[in-house]
């Protein structure tokens, strides 16, 4: 499978998850960035940063709720979940949307 097909497959997989975005508070920048938090269908969290309106394919950090993070960094998954809920419930923050 070539690189383009892999990227298309990754985008399709990410679109099946719930996503919220927070647009930077820096309004003077021409190249604004968004924080993207995705809730995976498996319960894991995906966090990334991308250019405004684009997808952070290949630039996501996976927070596995069933193992690693709960031992190595207790509280991180809960903090990410809290950030997701906060962005989702405050549509006046930057640009937030659950897709």
User: How does strand 45-51 pair with strand 33-39?
Assistant: antiparallel
Q: How many other CB atoms sit within 10 Å of the CB of residue 10? A: 14
The pLDDT profile of the chain, 99 residues, written as one tens digit per residue, is: 566 556 555 555 554 468 899 988 877 778 889 999 998 878 889 999 999 889 888 889 999 888 778 788 888 999 999 999 999 887 655 454 444
Cα gap 52→95, rounded to integer Å: 10
């Amino acid at each position: 499978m070539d690189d383009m097909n892999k990227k298309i497959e990754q985008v399709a997989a990410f679109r099946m998850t719930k996503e919220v975005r927070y647009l930077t508070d820096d309004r003077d920048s021409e190249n604004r960035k968004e924080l993207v938090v995705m809730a995976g269908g498996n319960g894991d969290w995906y966090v990334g940063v991308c250019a405004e309106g684009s997808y952070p394919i290949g630039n996501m950090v996976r927070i596995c709720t069933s193992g690693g993070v709960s031992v190595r960094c207790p509280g991180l998954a809960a903090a990410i979940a809290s950030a997701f809920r906060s962005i989702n419930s405050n549509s006046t923050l930057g640009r937030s949307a659950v897709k």
